[in-house]
Structure 1
Amino acid sequence: EARAYPRHIMEIHEMVNDTLGGRRIGMPYCTLCGSAQAYFTDDVPAGVETPILRTSGLLARSNKVMYDLVTKSVFDTFTGEALSGPLRERGVVLNQATVVTTTWGEWKAAHPDTTIIAEDGGIGRRYPLDPLRGRDDDGPIFPIGDMDGTLGVHDQVFGVVLDDGTPVAFPVAAAAAALQAGGSVELAGVTLRLDGGGVRAVDSAGNEIEGHQAFWFAWSQFMPDTLLWQP
């Protein structure tokens, strides 16, 4: 099952709780670090009620922090790890699903049966197409600390974390261009493939590796030991 979440709606709400493919997910979107993630909220330890995720308004390294409405546990939005509260005590780390970032036209062409979240939210509300109005055009609006200067602050990367904890990142523009030209994009056993104008990752057996896009400053700060593919 495919579903599209328009950026201009996510920029307003910053979070959606949904059911997709029979699974409960929570999807935070951080406008500051250009990152949308999807976490399975039904994959929690026995006895733990399904979290209902909300954005807190707090920041960690210029990344918005989320919390669970049920237990008031605070989560690292970038990693899915519970940082405080009852779910921290249970050692909860939410498992991630892949998010493909692309245009509506390319997504619709690749996934003609896709659904899309309601434009009016069922309440008659309309959303501006550019609610941020170029807010980040001159760079991050909050301090970001030290970062790896290999790429630009707002360069988009697609990142994954391997089972052994190794983070791997791919500059999106360069990787997509290489794939569109018929080349291959591989690093540390991770292979990128095109999907609806965006990219997703698979392992050597063709199994999906969950990942998402983010600005380089965010990925490199949360994953300072990341491996970086370069053309």
Structure 2
Amino acid sequence: MNIKVYWFVSLFATLALVAVACSPTTATVSDEDPAQGAVSSETDSEEDAAPATDIPVDAGSSAGATIDVPDDVELIEGGEPPRSAEQEFETDFTRTTVLFSEILSGGPPKDGIPAVDDPKYISTSEADEWLKDVEPIALVEINGQARAFPIQILIWHEIVNAEVGGQPVSVTFCPLCNTAIAFNRELDSLVMDFGTTGRLRFSNLVMYDRQTETWWQQATGEAIIGEQVGKQLEYLPLSMISWQQFKDNYPDGEVLSRDTGNSRNYGTNPYVGYDNINRSPFLYIGPETPGELPAMARVLTVEIGGDAVAYPYSVMSDLSVANDTIGGVEIVVLWQPGVASALDKATISASEDVGAVDAFSRVLNEQILTFIFDNGEIKDEQTGSVWNVLGQAIGGELAGEELEKIVAINHFWFSWAAFMPDTSVYTPES
């Protein structure tokens, strides 16, 4: 089979996978049933096919009012709005900062991939009945409350409108870009709830808020079309770690339940083989990907003060520790094994171990620490204390101390580079 034919076969196979991901006839796995892949003969009702859209608008909502465009934002002529968008949305398509030709249909319609709007939570002991130790989860910790959002759920819903520590949060995951990002969903006194538009830009999820129907780019948190165009959501720290790491370090933490109101085959991956380093991104039409890394290379990205650095998983798995300075801030990037890819095998827990990578300030108690990897352990040179990938000192003089988490986001290289083309790629010599 020649390369061109193979490419088309691969493309159509991926299209089929996306269709399966949005199918209303996928299986149900309950919290009470730990069996992976247990299939239900029931199909989703029309109510299950999309989340409720009658969420009350916050009293501070600006819906219906004219919102000034930020001074540093320039509106453009976007062209013809995306197909069917004017029928599906009440968005003001005259206000845009992007070309509509850059926006493609991902297959499902508006809310065809249903967000979780009424999240329920269970204990770690209950979740341990169906979560495997190596499965990836998104950890969000705010005001002393730690909640785990399993990727086996997010991969089917992409958005969870939640609260953590009293803070309104949207936890988002774009499978095509491998981006798990948490946002503060309160902006200018308006608490928003997000849904999926069914559209992609540079293969990345385009969300919308139900209060003003503005469209938002998940990778950047920027409003790109509609009433709130030009506004920016606040990133919140999120860590992609294993279920084992979460339950060991947060035994009293809470876990998003599989009782989502929708029937999905939780624990399975509808994008089998998608993270193959040699394949091409799905539905990517955008800037040429810089050649420093393969398009599908996994990276952890950090942007501080306008400076951006990508830390390849392939480099971090060799080093385990990288001390660096970005935008004048002293940071450390840590890697530990034990986290399965969500985009490899059909069963997530059986997938390749890609490890966990995270980033922290290395300033503690007004002292800049330097970290090393010594005899299989992460240590600081100043005290010899032992640390884990969560930035917690677990042994030695500093036991019990924690490093300050900074915003660091997992991406495939093509996705981050499309939006941040001037990013530096970390090497041990850089």
TM-score bracket for the superposition, by shorter chain length: 0.7 to 0.9
Measure, in 2, the Cα distance between the counterparts of 1:199 and 1:135: 20
Cα deviation, 1:55-112, whole Å, max 9, x if unaligned, reads 1111111111011011101111111111122222xx4211101221222122322333
Which one of the candidate residues 392, 402, 416 is aligned to 1:219?
416
- For the aligned residue pairs, the C-alpha RMSD in angstroms reads 2.3
Q: Is 1:24 matched up with 2:168?
A: yes
Task: Report deviation, 1:26.
Answer: 0.8
- Structure of larger gyration radius: 2
**Are the equivalent residues in 2 in contact too, given 1:97–1:211 (CA < 8 A)?**
no
- How high is the TM-score relative to the length of structure 1? 0.85
CA distance in 2, matches of 1:123, 1:61: 28
Q: Deviation of residue 172 (structure 1)?
A: 2.8
Contact 2:292 2:425 in 1 (8 A): no
Instruction: Say yes or no: does 1:199 pair with 2:341.
Output: no
Give the aligned residue type for 1:205: V
Q: Secondary structure at the match of 2:231?
A: coil
> How far is 1:193 from its partner?
4.3
Distance, in Å, in 2 between the alignment partners of 1:83 and 1:25 is: 20
- Please, which moves more after superposition, 116-125 or 73-82? 116-125
Q: Determine what percentage of the aligned residue pairs are the same residue.
A: 31
* Alignment correspondent of 2:220: 79
Higher relative contact order (CA 8 A, sep 6+): 1
Q: In the alignment, which residue of structure 1 is the partner of 2:348?
A: none
Q: CA deviation at 1:19?
A: 0.3
Alignment partner, residue 45 of structure 1 = 188
The worse-fitting range, judged by mean Cα deviation, of 103-112 and 10-19 is 103-112
**Residue in 2 aligned with 1:11?**
155
Deviates more, 1:183-192 or 1:16-25: 183-192
Q: Which residue of 2 aligns with 1:110?
A: 249
- What TM-score, normalized by structure 2, do the two folds share? 0.48
In the superposition, relative to structure 1, how do residues 152 and 109 fare at CA in structure 2: closer, same or farther (>3 Å)? Answer: farther
- 1:163-182 residue pairs with structure 2 within 5 A? 164-179=305-320
Unpaired runs of 5+ residues, structure 1, are none
Which deviations, in whole Å up to 9, do the C-alpha atoms of 1:181-221 show, x marking residues without a partner? xx443142352344886333234535432121010111111
Query: Which aligned pairs between 1:109-188 and structure 2 lie closer than 5 A?
Result: 109-121=248-260, 127-135=266-274, 137=276, 138-145=279-286, 146-162=288-304, 164-179=305-320, 183-188=321-326
C-alpha change, 1:186 and 1:10, in structure 2 (3 Å) is same
Matched-pair contact (CA < 8 Å) for 1:96–1:211: no
Name the SS for the 2:292 alignment partner: coil
Counterpart position of 1:68: 209
Task: Decide whether the 8 Å contact of 1:16 with 1:27 is kept in 2.
Answer: yes
Q: How many residues are matched?
A: 222
